[in-house]
Structure 1
Amino acid sequence: MDRRRKIIPENIQRRITKIFVTNLPERCSGTDLASYVRQYGQIFGLYIARKRDKGGNRFGFVSMLDVKDKDELLKSLRNIRMGDCRLWFSVAQFVLEDGEIKNNYAEKGNHSTKTYRKQHGDEDHREGKATFFKKGERSFKDMLVGKSVRIHSNVTAFSGLYGRALIARMIDLDALKNIKIILNEICPSLGRVQYLGGLDVLITFDDAETALAVRDAARSILGRFLKISIWEGQAFGFERLAWLKVQGIPLHLLSNEVIDAVGGVFGKVEHKANRSDSDRDLSW
């Protein structure tokens, strides 16, 4: 029996767009992948490799017919999640089927087009290289989903500060900006301030007695500290402050309340908008 795969006619090849997909979940079948991709266009063929790419992820290829806008297609496909895995799609660098012609090579008269000749055997894994991703387009979160790091129970960073340092959360951004002034009013020339992210700071003293005294004094000050406690190695969440530049709000909706509402979509608004009707620049 002739097991050779049929060469795809050139008129069909011209209609095909090859899409590389990676970060497939374990046990994902071609049928599973097709059920997610089919809503975005007509599938001509689909293949999931047995090997993994250099990032250790399962990968495959989807042949789509008559794609009008590749960028729009990729934008839609990159929203696909299968369980905890967010799939990553890009236009394949090389064609895969025997006899296919890569358009830009054909136009230049270059007939040394690379092919992928082993569909279900030992793959010549040219398409599995990490060159399918444009720098900055894949987030750290996507890279780390499903992975973990084991930390030994005896790891105690900053243990030398136990008892003589304070973890303080300021009540607002103004208090955070003026922490050194506030601290100087409580204990002049004492305490070293280190920023921890969000509204949190680490304040270190030479001895535990001073740390306790400052903690008690800080708790009696209104409108400055939201929470303050002795550092004893306790866990607390990490937060970050980010400034948003909001643009495109129509003039009839351009109010501080609307600007704050837009900011609230991304997280808690710590510094509210202070736009004025007399501002010269209204290009929000």
Structure 2
Amino acid sequence: MRESVERETVGGRKRDFITKLDKVTTSFFVTNFPDDATSGDLWKLFLKFGKVGEVYIPKKLDKRGRRFGFVKFKEVKEVEELSDSLRDVWMGMYKLRVNLSRFGRGEPKEAHSQKAPSQRAAAATMVESQNGRSFRNALLDEVQVLKVPVNEELCKELRGSMVGTLAREKDVRRIQTTIFMEGFKSISVTYMGGNMALVRSSNEGDVERMIRSKKECMEYYFSELKPWNPGLLAVQREVWIQVYGIPLHIWGENLFKIVGAKLGVFLDFDEETARMARF
């Protein structure tokens, strides 16, 4: 972590150390992590993906008032493979946005002039085609945002609701039935996408009372329950896709996994497809 690096080095030694680190590491730009996350938290999280050389979270915020940081990996042999593995990194309910950084923090500005324009263009194209956004757009957060008025009435109704992280692969309908059988008929459980579900009630206080009285039951179904707030969003969805025109000589599970990996994480295929009952 940068904090520890700065404590252990002084003056020019610190600059020399960071410059050397920049030359032997691959840097990634990271956003959309929890406000209370520390450099140590990110360090532990990214250790799963390789050898971490440095984690740096600036004190300043981006133009939208959000935190961002940089993670440097050492001894990276396959940059594209590492980039692919970092597309689906989660910290609690937050899906981190991780983009390859084309410029090292210690490089002088002169190195980014219009020398070798073809290399710069190729790098930008690669990131754009892989992640849908260039590193520059990710850094500046240049995205088109729809401005929609908040439904204040719905916000009032959602107060007192809870958002649960599903433990394992739990069926939301089964959770709803269990709660109903326990006598809490005003409470509904709605799937939000990914591994999240909304627990709400038309009667104020019912959700809180149910969670207190059925603690063991809730811990079985949910690994975590948090009071609803506008920032708790499900960014994952399980969807079926239909693919036409597949040559029969390449039909099989490997093909479907490859196709699924292009769009997200492959989960399963239906019985008719497995039996080749439908082409």
TM bin, normalised by shorter chain, reads 0.3 to 0.5
